[in-house]
Structure 1
């Protein structure tokens, strides 16, 4: 683990859980596995705080525990998972994806799971139903059955999964099969969400009327069976598969056209649950299956589909390959090849933005030709010798290009040695990934600094917003509301607007860099698993 990863993990832990949990998590990342006693000694924190911090980390599945170096009879040791800590950077993207696929109910279900780490199905449904009811108008309430339907759909599409039961050693009590992770328990939950009271005190008549109403409406009471010991969590791997597929679909749309991307989308959708996460190819599909699954709104005939499939197979990007002739032709999506091409395009764009179009031309040339001498680079790129030499040395100093020596004789004399320039795409991707970690860490630090510097203005704005909300609910007139709003002066309001603008830009930048991080991580992991 690099220093940039540890720094970014510490910033994410501090932002989500506070400074104490951040100290515990950072110490585990730097030291590896530690026992409770060693962790207390190294952090100099009270035992009670260390225990609570470890509970928070285990609850959110970013820390595991098990037998230490001394074996089953020794103390239990704790290990932090940096990969899952870095997933916190992607929380807004998970929530937005759930909203786009399953609406407001799916969004709140994923948000609650991410905030709590692990929850039972019944408690999640009650919490989400209450939140939806509170946001509704005209006294409406959210039925538990509607939330159960959304929860079931998230589980059926593997966006939510069961947490395995563990014992004190950290091992699964009963190893669950793949299908058991997505089995909905038999529960009976009836009722609807409850609306929070607008005031602290309710009059006696209101309480009596409410009691009489509840006595008449027994269906509003909740009953739960068989759900207490089953906890659920977000399946990050499934979200990452969705992100990967969306990146591939967008690349096909920009390279070819919208119809081609829709065909690739259909192929990915048909095989998304049956294809393993680390597979190099999707499940083979026949042209007949693809034709039947295409949306009817596109009105694509069978001959046109065959032409598009041939176009995708012949494309140099090689997103799709043909594996057989049965069923009108068997086709697969090259997942690893697609990720390699996406990572390559990312590297080329970075070089172009930092060093200009001519350097990017040299970089693309080396990627395509693999090994070239300096004279060959000058000729193929059609760049004057002096400029080509400067650009090559600049790329070499930034570790984006490597120099390989091939001696003709054992003495390695320069006059009898070939000097070939080359690009190691995997090593360059790792280098860029570390730069992305550093960039996101800087963005988070800047956002925290901006928030701290304007803490007084933010707190004042929040207090006034709370007063306005209370006055509106109590039926205050417009003059009173205007008077409260004027408590924030014009310069303060202008400063708050500037702060919100800066914070929004920083958040947007974090999300954009995270998209690059996801592509590079997916490419590096796929290449590592292939080897």
Structure 2
């Protein structure tokens, strides 16, 4: 549950990143420039203070027009600050289920925005400049497709670059030569972008974007009663998930697709040259194809990618743990802790993990 001071700071971050022309408590008659960025803060604060809302409820509480609220929600979703979800109300047998699309502000993601410089520093310490540029673009624009990232790289390459072509050529020859040079350059840029994306994926620094509208079902009365009985008997000791956590978990892509990029190294007509990251066997490839077909987009050019905040927070947490041990104990203890965290990293399914996975003592030798 976000505290009032936390909400105030989150609103400040949205205001700072999306413009200063914000009027949160002004009446509808107040004249304000017609810019979508002028209303993002108002919509975001409304969702933070009131919780998940439908489009109609957001329009009513913010006193903005439906078009203004839609545009604000699109921008906030693009920058991973808001997630849409479908809440399926449980009804009696025989009745049609009531389905409502609601929007929830992602408090943690908004807070991560002030950590963006730290995220870039982590990548700069592990990968090359091309990877840094791609991550910076994703942090700046929220979500991008492979084509958008390639186009961005092409535009940066175009600045100050000129082709050297002999003057004694016909117009048609010059056109043909320029076309060939542009095609070759575009292929080189696309390959370099794909290579950088694969590096970022292997390091878990970026991921596929979540589903646009995951479906959540409210528990039935029988399920609620069963949970209460189990809690009283001491069978359930873990903390109950918040609605935000449930929405994020439901929207997350399947693990087999989350960090997968299928690339085409040769023309599709030849029927070969398809590679992927990470490397998969033919059987796994068929499984990935089935998941992609079920999940949505199958064309890598239109799949949206974003920064994986979880991995960056995990690395920052590991760094803090190591620094804490370093101040208390010796370098040997630091080396052992680093090895343990690296060996059990795959077992960390959530960012807020209290304990690392179990590890056999002999396995530590692999990481020394």
TM-score, normalized by length of structure 2?
0.61
Structure 1 pair 189–121 and aligned structure 2 pair: CA distance change class (3 A): farther
Distance apart, 1:56 and its partner CA: 0.8
- Which residue is equivalent to 2:355? 281
- Which residue is equivalent to 1:98? 123
CA distance in 2, matches of 1:68, 1:281: 33
Secondary structure in structure 2 of the residue aligned to 1:64: strand
Structure 1 pair 281–107 and aligned structure 2 pair: CA distance change class (3 A): same
- Which residue is equivalent to 2:68? 49
Pairs within 5 Å for 1:339-378: none
Could you tell me which of 112, 134, 147 is aligned with 1:122? 147
- Whether contact under 8 Å (1:59, 1:118) holds in the other structure is yes
Secondary structure in structure 1 of the residue aligned to 2:139: helix
2:223 maps to 1:150: no
- Which residue is equivalent to 2:367? 293
Distance apart, 1:130 and its partner CA: 4.2
TM-score, normalized by length of structure 1?
0.43
Secondary structure in structure 2 of the residue aligned to 1:166: coil
Greater alpha carbon shift after TM alignment, 113-122 vs 166-175: 166-175
Secondary structure in structure 1 of the residue aligned to 2:128: helix
Distance apart, 1:134 and its partner CA: 4.9
Q: CA RMSD in A?
A: 3.4
Structure 1 pair 189–80 and aligned structure 2 pair: CA distance change class (3 A): farther
CA distance in 1, matches of 2:65, 2:328: 58
- Whether contact under 8 Å (1:144, 1:189) holds in the other structure is no
Secondary structure in structure 1 of the residue aligned to 2:101: strand
- Whether contact under 8 Å (2:261, 2:300) holds in the other structure is no
Pairs within 5 Å for 1:470-489: none
Distance apart, 1:69 and its partner CA: 8.6
CA distance in 2, matches of 1:185, 1:176: 15
- Which residue is equivalent to 1:246? 319
CA distance in 2, matches of 1:38, 1:28: 10
2:119 maps to 1:107: no
- Which residue is equivalent to 2:262? 185
Structure 1 pair 283–129 and aligned structure 2 pair: CA distance change class (3 A): farther
Cα deviation code 1:298-336 (max 9, x no counterpart):
xxxxxxxxxxxxxxxxxxxxxxxxxxxxxxxxxxxxxxx
Greater fraction helix: 1
- Whether contact under 8 Å (2:53, 2:103) holds in the other structure is yes
CA distance in 1, matches of 2:160, 2:335: 36
CA distance in 1, matches of 2:126, 2:161: 21
- Which residue is equivalent to 1:462? none
Cα deviation code 1:30-87 (max 9, x no counterpart):
1112222222222222322211101011122221223459775465322212222111
Pairs within 5 Å for 1:33-112: 33-67=52-86, 73=98, 75-112=100-137
CA distance in 2, matches of 1:125, 1:16: 25
2:163 maps to 1:162: no
Distance apart, 1:244 and its partner CA: 0.8
Could you tell me which of 10, 18, 22 is aligned with 2:41? 22
Distance apart, 1:188 and its partner CA: 4.5
- Whether contact under 8 Å (2:209, 2:252) holds in the other structure is no
Structure 1 pair 98–125 and aligned structure 2 pair: CA distance change class (3 A): farther
The number of residues matched between the two structures is 259
Listed as ranges, the gaps of 5+ residues in structure 2 are 23-38, 91-96, 165-184, 217-246, 268-297
Structure 1 pair 30–227 and aligned structure 2 pair: CA distance change class (3 A): same
- Which residue is equivalent to 2:330? 257
Secondary structure in structure 1 of the residue aligned to 2:103: strand
Secondary structure in structure 1 of the residue aligned to 2:355: coil
2:50 maps to 1:31: yes
Listed as ranges, the gaps of 5+ residues in structure 1 are 191-224, 295-531
- Whether contact under 8 Å (2:85, 2:103) holds in the other structure is yes
CA distance in 2, matches of 1:189, 1:236: 33
Structure 1 pair 73–228 and aligned structure 2 pair: CA distance change class (3 A): farther
CA distance in 2, matches of 1:103, 1:92: 16
Structure 1 pair 287–37 and aligned structure 2 pair: CA distance change class (3 A): closer
CA distance in 2, matches of 1:174, 1:42: 26
Structure 1 pair 165–187 and aligned structure 2 pair: CA distance change class (3 A): farther
Structure 1 pair 135–14 and aligned structure 2 pair: CA distance change class (3 A): farther
- Which residue is equivalent to 1:226? 299
Structure 1 pair 152–168 and aligned structure 2 pair: CA distance change class (3 A): closer
Cα deviation code 1:85-121 (max 9, x no counterpart):
1111211111121112113222212111112211112
- Which residue is equivalent to 1:13? 14
Cα deviation code 1:325-367 (max 9, x no counterpart):
xxxxxxxxxxxxxxxxxxxxxxxxxxxxxxxxxxxxxxxxxxx
